[in-house]
Structure 1
Amino acid sequence: MSSTPSSITDKKQAILDSALSLFVEKGFNATSTASIAKAAGVATGTLFHHFPTKNDIMNQLFLSIKQEFANNMVSNIELCGDIEKDANNLWQKAIDWAIAQPLKQLFFLQYSMSADIDAAVRKQAMTSILGFVVDLIEQGKQHGVIADFPSELLLENCHGQYLAAIRFFTDNPQLGSDEQHRSASFKLFWHAMKAQ
């Protein structure tokens, strides 16, 4: 009896979901592939069929969560062409996602800068999946609204500012819906990005 495409997808997703929980709870190095397979309810051989190494699981998990994050940011949003307003709208949606997805945003906090994720995978996530952010930065530079620094450096700065903000809201969940703190988080970010 052969597996149906949906059961293959379900097993693969179960592996990723289990890995997410275990990587956040125990750390990458302390999590074995056997423990991931057990938590996912699949045989170890099934895990290796989908992911030859633990690093492959980490890289796929990082890309899939980053894609979900990006999809959420651009869904149901109207960009008006005002760079600062558009950046603020995207920023607030990103903060909303982090608050709504605590396990996934903890994963980002732990692993976004980690050597456990291949540099090529991190670059793919930043420049392809988050290409709309790159486009916004380029538009801002062309209009003299965003500082004329190298785009890759500006993108890394965006990422660092976002991680700092979600760390703050993770540590202070009661402030996640406080308009003053939400607004301040964007102003701090924008101050670092805007042309002087």
Structure 2
Amino acid sequence: MVSTQGRITDKKQAILDSALSLFVEKGFNATSTASIAKAAGVATGTLFHHFPTKNDIMNQLFLSIKQEFASNMVGKVVLSGNIEKDANNLWQTAIDWAIAQPLKQLFFLQYSMSADINVAVRKQAMNSILGFVVELIEQGKQQGIIGDFPSELLLENCHGQYLAAIRYFTDNPQLGNDPKHRSASFKLFWHAMKAQ
């Protein structure tokens, strides 16, 4: 029974892995469910057993990558209570993750702001999975360190700034580990967030 469950999990993960590669390479609309099933080495019926639609694959992929990203952050950053220091540690850890995960980073760049991701799924990822960022923003607002703007808008701004930074480091990989550019990327982000 356990081995059967393991195979199901493996097949589902193979579908997600294949979809990730194909969505990044060909785009969402140009990728068929048949091509995902073929790349995953599963029957089309098996794909539909796990994911009734291609949109379900996209939404699950988005959530699972966001969860992996968040788990990496939480596992590596110990919050100190110093809002700016904690924000910088989270920022730098996020950039490290993006550099270490080039395919997933490209997926974020292509789809994070895409209409192909359901709005409810995007909100779930931002508010539930990345809840620790929401908490940090709220603490910063309460302490007068982060600007007193609507929290959802601040969260979207964080996300947009992050996507801009990883796009820059994707286009200029030689600068991804350059301390001057890494520091500058955080300063630009922080300048947009802090209270004036």
Give the TM-score, by structure 2 length: 0.98
Partner of 1:182: 182
Partner of 1:49: 49
Query: Could you tell me how far 1:78 is from its partner in structure 2?
Result: 1.6
The letter of the residue matching 1:53 is T
| Aligned Cα root-mean-square deviation (Å) | 1.2
Partner of 2:165: 165
Partner of 2:67: 67
CA distance in 2, matches of 1:2, 1:50: 18
Q: After superposition, what is the alpha-carbon deviation per residue over 1:53-92, rounded to whole angstroms, capped at 9, x for unaligned? A: 0000000000000000000011132211000000000000
Gaps of 5+ in 2: none
Partner of 2:144: 144
How many equivalent pairs are there? 196
Q: After superposition, what is the alpha-carbon deviation per residue over 1:25-59, rounded to whole angstroms, capped at 9, x for unaligned? A: 00000000000000000000000000000000000
Query: Could you tell me how far 1:2 is from its partner in structure 2?
Result: 10
CA distance in 2, matches of 1:57, 1:166: 24
2:95·2:166 contact (CA, 8 Å) conserved in 1? yes
Partner of 2:11: 11
CA distance in 2, matches of 1:95, 1:76: 13
2:16·2:57 contact (CA, 8 Å) conserved in 1? yes
Give the TM-score, by structure 1 length: 0.98
Q: After superposition, what is the alpha-carbon deviation per residue over 1:143-171, rounded to whole angstroms, capped at 9, x for unaligned? A: 00000000000000000000000000000
Partner of 1:105: 105
Percent of aligned pairs sharing the same letter: 88
Q: After superposition, what is the alpha-carbon deviation per residue over 1:1-36, rounded to whole angstroms, capped at 9, x for unaligned? A: 997110000000000000000000000000000000
